[in-house]
Structure 1
Amino acid sequence: MCGILGLLLNDSNADAAPEICEGLSLLQHRGQDACGVITCGPGGRFYQCKANGMVRDIFDANSISRLIGGMGVGHVRYPTAGSFNNAEAQPFYVNSPYGIVFAHNGNLINTSSLMGFMDQIAHRHINTASDSELLLNIFAYNLQQTGKFRINEEDIFTAIGGMMSQVKGAYACVAMLAGFGIIAFRDPNGIRPVGWGVRATASGKDYTVASESVVADAGGFAEWNDVNPGEAIIITRNGVSRRQIAAPSTFAPDIFEYVYFARPDSVLDGISVYRSRMAMGDALADNVKRVLEEVNITVDVVIPVPDTSRVAALNLAQRLDLPYREGFIKNRYVGRTFIMPGQQMRKKNVRRKLNAMALEFADKNVLIVDDSIVRGTTSKEIVQMAKDVGAKKVIVASCAPPIRYPNVYGIDMPSRKELVAHGRDEKHIAEAIGADLVIFQTLPDLIESVRQLNPGIGNFDCSVFSGEYVTGGVDETYLQHLESLRADNTRGKSLNLELDALDSKAVIGSSKGGNSTGASTPVNGSDTVGLHNSWNTN
């Protein structure tokens, strides 16, 4: 998962960077490994600042002030393909043709064949292992085939159509063409979310593109529209052009967006994330009641795992007429443990992130509600924390069904052996995490909890629960390759962290030079990455 953002201001003399950085901070939950912004200033010149780290750490007043221009693209990264190298921080940029900036959320599943195409036919060099850079170059190659010095919107739509016919997987993208405008498009299955908003100003209209509607809400963009599956939009200061590019396909947004990833105050594809989690709590309550009666266990209190399960846990408690208590206090300065690389780092940060209050656990049968159980690392630590402060019995209820299959569309669940539910039934999952009992949401109940809010969506991508991949093309060979790749990247990340720690100790008391894309620079600079003449459509 990543967060993407584009902004085009009607006032060409204003700077878009401050608002882009604010928007990225609202999308920080979607990626905490790296972030970046590239803006387009006078004469089509690009200015960039990107590095590994959080938005608040990379962008200060000095770096933002050097990001010049009334339109730009931003990205927060959560790596699933490629490596954790800061060279893979987005947005990416190519200078041929025309100067293109590109940000991508998702994951391609046919990268091997696409790399062969790049080498043998397109003759374009891919500098990183990131599928996002590959996707950018496929788009750039198709755009270059026009052979024109100046292109028009029809040429752009044609290039996107050519790209969509070549690539397979999940992608929600925002691009910027130097001196021209902002482009957004979405894969034919609509697996990853993206939408756009409009804001009226005294001089005209501003436009934003973002992964979630919360960015538009905070920025005062009154109109919000989802980019449809297989659709592309082109935004210039003259207005918006929309076109359905790909042939109709199965519309299947990722249901895990509603379970965990998206902010509760966002609306994705016409579905309120908050309302969907309320419905998940109601449905889970019925299953919990049935199971508890079967095993003859009574529960004294319902306690959520903050933050994503709070909404569901409250509805569950109300439906079962049980006390709801905040038994875990969260340290808000520790990031989301799910998207931290490596089991050891995730495990170590659970207790840094949460503290159990004995007052709510001691001598009680506790029902802990979580949004999902993935690797089991967090769940095992949480159960142990509850028992350490005196809980008699710990029952864990999950708003999602057991996750038994890898995710290949941009969520960090690629290795089956890391999934605690893979090859285990509920009894053995409970034993693995140290709980007295584990109760899962059923898949039909989860689907209905989300679908009832927008009956127009007939399908959801539920591959992590069902093993059925909506795009096809996912076989055992591919899964094994993905698992080995992810294992290598995790080891590489751990090594980089160790080296960064040693490097930090070595430079205490001194100032560190370098630009914002340097591997060892914490970084508050911006660099000009290209100079292009502005150009217009024919």
Structure 2
Amino acid sequence: MSDAIKHECGIALLRLKKPLQFYLDKYGTAFYGLNKMYLLMEKQHNRGQDGAGLANIKLNMKPGQRYISRHRSIDAKPIQDIFSKINHRFKEIEEKNPELLKDVEYLKENAGFTGELFLGHLRYGTFGRNSIESCHPFLRQSNWMTRNLVVAGNFNLTNVDELFNVLVTIGQHPKEKSDTVTVMEKIGHFLDLENERLFQDYKKMGYSNEEIYARISAQLNIENILKKASEDWDGGYAMSGLLGHGDAFVLRDPSGIRPAFWYEDEEVCVVASERPVIQTAFNIQRDAIKELMPGHALIIKKDGSVAETLINTPLERKSCSFERIYFSRGNDHDIYNERKKLGNLVCSQVLKGIDYDLDNSVFSFIPNTAETAFYGMIKGLEDHLNDRKFDKIKQLGDNPSEEELKRIIYQRARIEKIAIKDAKLRTFITQDDARDDMVAHVYDITYGSVVRDKDNLVVIDDSIVRGTTLRQSILKILDRLGPKKIIVVSSAPQIRFPDCYGIDMAKMGDFIAFQAIIELLKENGKSYVIDEVYRKCKEQEALPKEQIKNYVKEIYDHFSYEEVSQKIAELLTPPDIHAEVEIIYQTVEDLHKACPENLGDWYFTGNYPTPGGNKVVNRAFINYVEGKNERAY
């Protein structure tokens, strides 16, 4: 993606179902779980570059023995930082006595991160400070083992204010108003109530305190806790948690907005935000991995039993389509094919844009995530060429010459690697006054690949959000090659509305599609539309989120999709560029054809899957009109 946007966090949960001695005997190391966690987190590094965290719980520890370990980092390489510090402790043990690294009992009693239950998190902050306090996992501590709670998630809730007020009403005093703290305290509240209920029940039966603890540990109703805690959450989430005594869970939102996958065998149960990382870490086939269903929780009890349980009634499935377009790693079987399909489906528009002149057109992509869509686009062009070749050969008759056949058969789409990303330059872009000049050099080009003043140059990107890098860098450097026309193709539709479920796209004014429609309205004497929509938004500002409608959609009703694209091209074309510039966007209809099981498209259509989405877009538009440069949630 040429536009740098922050996006979704990643989670990794691992439960070792056998005693540590089993893994030492079978795999030759007592650190089997720790090694797997490193793989699970590193293979999801695409989901978090602001920070990372890892927590571990040891089962069946005696009073006075430490059983929870946690380490978080906001280092430039946070995953490596975490594991290097953990491994440093083991090296100290090895220097003392190498045999101690094979003594499971010693390790559990004397070394951290040698337990059976792990929770890892990769943070990609959508807003707020990037501090160690912002890194998951979060820890809610208690002297009662069954009341200790470790929480980490890939999520964003739209109704944090409501949830915060609920906590205050029941007598809590949360340390800050953030969705992570609010969620943790909400779960913690009902965890406390469940503990207290069981304690009182068993107390009446005459059990001693020690006997009661053992029974609470076995009888905690995680399903009931999660149902009560999450009944009023509005947002997208894959929420994971560990309890101090050894229970664990991962809860997914009812619309399936945020992803979660899991796998279980006799040795392990593992959950991750992406399927391929589980395949890679445990060398298993994709069919063995299950998707955690929307509205369900995967509950792992201390005894090792695993169950996928309905918590909240599933809504219409609206899994995030941006996962398919950009966020998730492209080595997932389905995502790879969907991205190719996205590229394939824009071919008809591309052919029209170059006036079907394949002989004088060069095709490339913006590195690196658009590469798969590029393959799909080229496949579509080759299919078109083959059909054209077939027709031309038929027209040659029964005795075509060898020269005529060669001229037809050897026709191919001209493919070049045009743009090269010089990532090193990003580290120097710091001062505002020098930013534009430096951004212009983030990409470089392959000189001599285009015939000057004759060739069309077509480059595909996975999406165009703000268009800043296109305007300041990419179009300028592509123009140096001297093409007659530059066509930038987006494998995603026009991004028209803010996200509120975990992606850093929260302000209306940032979107180039929104800027384009505002310009069109003003230029064509329709500024009254902006005023009318603003009035409607203000009128419902105080309404409950369930009653708010997305009137912001109306600003796009007055111009066609193509007219908006043309205005975007005009806004993004630098004043000193020589080539004609055209922007081609994927249609929403073709997006759904490419990703039929992932129909979360609110950024393109404004069709939010939860009521909180309408509240956010309402506030985002009001902020824009009132000149407030702030987030809508």
TM-score (norm: length of structure 1): 0.80
The corresponding residue for 1:404 is: 496
The corresponding residue for 1:25 is: 42
The corresponding residue for 2:449 is: 360
Please tell me whether the aligned partners of residues 623 and 630 of structure 2 are also in contact (alpha carbons under 8 angstroms): no
- Distance of 2:161 and 2:53 partners within structure 1: 27
1:73-152 superposed matches below 5 A: 73-96=119-142, 98-127=147-176, 129-146=177-194, 147=196, 148=198, 149=213, 150-152=216-218
- Distance of 1:167 and 1:353 partners within structure 2: 41
User: 2:620 is matched with which residue: 464, 467, 479?
Assistant: 479
How many aligned positions are there? Answer: 471
Which amino acid in 2 is paired with 1:281? G
Secondary structure of 1:59 counterpart: helix
Q: Does 1:171 align with 2:237?
A: yes
Q: Does 1:306 align with 2:367?
A: yes
Closer, same or farther: CA 185–56 of 1 in aligned 2, 3 Å: closer
Q: CA deviation at 1:432?
A: 2.3
Q: CA deviation at 1:19?
A: 2.1
- Distance of 1:259 and 1:46 partners within structure 2: 38
Which amino acid in 1 is paired with 2:149? I
Task: Choose 1 or 2 for highest CA Rg.
Answer: 2
The corresponding residue for 2:15 is: 8
- Distance of 1:336 and 1:264 partners within structure 2: 25
The corresponding residue for 2:117 is: 71
User: 1:320 is matched with which residue: 381, 385, 403?
Assistant: 381
Please tell me whether the aligned partners of residues 299 and 306 of structure 2 are also in contact (alpha carbons under 8 angstroms): yes
Closer, same or farther: CA 190–349 of 1 in aligned 2, 3 Å: farther
- Distance of 2:86 and 2:18 partners within structure 1: 21
Which amino acid in 1 is paired with 2:371? R
Which amino acid in 2 is paired with 1:71? L
- Distance of 1:73 and 1:341 partners within structure 2: 35
The corresponding residue for 1:418 is: 510
Q: CA deviation at 1:12?
A: 3.8
Secondary structure of 1:32 counterpart: coil
Higher mean displacement: 16-25 or 28-37: 16-25
User: 1:252 is matched with which residue: 308, 313, 318?
Assistant: 318
Q: Does 1:228 align with 2:293?
A: yes
Q: CA deviation at 1:152?
A: 4.6
Please tell me whether the aligned partners of residues 58 and 246 of structure 2 are also in contact (alpha carbons under 8 angstroms): no
Q: CA deviation at 1:416?
A: 0.8
Which amino acid in 2 is paired with 1:432? L
- Distance of 1:63 and 1:221 partners within structure 2: 25
The corresponding residue for 1:384 is: 476
Higher mean displacement: 204-213 or 380-389: 380-389
The corresponding residue for 1:437 is: 582
- Distance of 2:431 and 2:567 partners within structure 1: 23
- Distance of 2:273 and 2:57 partners within structure 1: 21
The corresponding residue for 1:62 is: 85
Deviations 1:434-475 (A, max 9, x none): 270000111000111111xxxxx4x61111001111112322
Q: Does 1:213 align with 2:262?
A: no
Secondary structure of 1:436 counterpart: strand
Closer, same or farther: CA 341–140 of 1 in aligned 2, 3 Å: farther
Please tell me whether the aligned partners of residues 28 and 55 of structure 1 are also in contact (alpha carbons under 8 angstroms): no
Which amino acid in 2 is paired with 1:68? T
Q: Which sections of structure 2, spanning at least 5 residues, go unmatched?
A: 1-7, 21-29, 91-111, 199-212, 383-412, 517-563, 574-579
Deviations 1:470-506 (A, max 9, x none): 11232255436998999569xxxxxxxxxxxxxxxxx
The corresponding residue for 2:350 is: 288
Secondary structure of 1:329 counterpart: strand
Q: CA deviation at 1:118?
A: 1.6
- Distance of 2:48 and 2:433 partners within structure 1: 19
Deviations 1:96-117 (A, max 9, x none): 4621111111210111111111
User: 2:609 is matched with which residue: 470, 484, 489?
Assistant: 470
The corresponding residue for 2:486 is: 394
Closer, same or farther: CA 122–187 of 1 in aligned 2, 3 Å: farther
Which amino acid in 2 is paired with 1:255? S
TM-score (norm: length of structure 2): 0.68
Closer, same or farther: CA 481–225 of 1 in aligned 2, 3 Å: farther
Closer, same or farther: CA 209–348 of 1 in aligned 2, 3 Å: farther
Q: CA deviation at 1:36?
A: 0.9
Q: Does 1:45 align with 2:67?
A: yes
Closer, same or farther: CA 347–469 of 1 in aligned 2, 3 Å: farther
Which amino acid in 2 is paired with 1:357? T
Secondary structure of 1:103 counterpart: strand
Structure holding more helix per residue: 2
| Percent pairwise identity | 25
Please tell me whether the aligned partners of residues 490 and 585 of structure 2 are also in contact (alpha carbons under 8 angstroms): yes
For the aligned residue pairs, the C-alpha RMSD in angstroms reads: 3.1
The corresponding residue for 1:512 is: none
Please tell me whether the aligned partners of residues 81 and 486 of structure 1 are also in contact (alpha carbons under 8 angstroms): no
- Distance of 2:282 and 2:434 partners within structure 1: 38
Closer, same or farther: CA 482–70 of 1 in aligned 2, 3 Å: farther
Secondary structure of 2:121 counterpart: strand
Q: CA deviation at 1:293?
A: 3.2
Deviations 1:256-309 (A, max 9, x none): 110110111125xxxx10010111111111222234439x89852111112211
Q: CA deviation at 1:248?
A: 3.1
- Distance of 2:623 and 2:283 partners within structure 1: 39
- Distance of 2:140 and 2:242 partners within structure 1: 11
- Distance of 2:305 and 2:50 partners within structure 1: 34
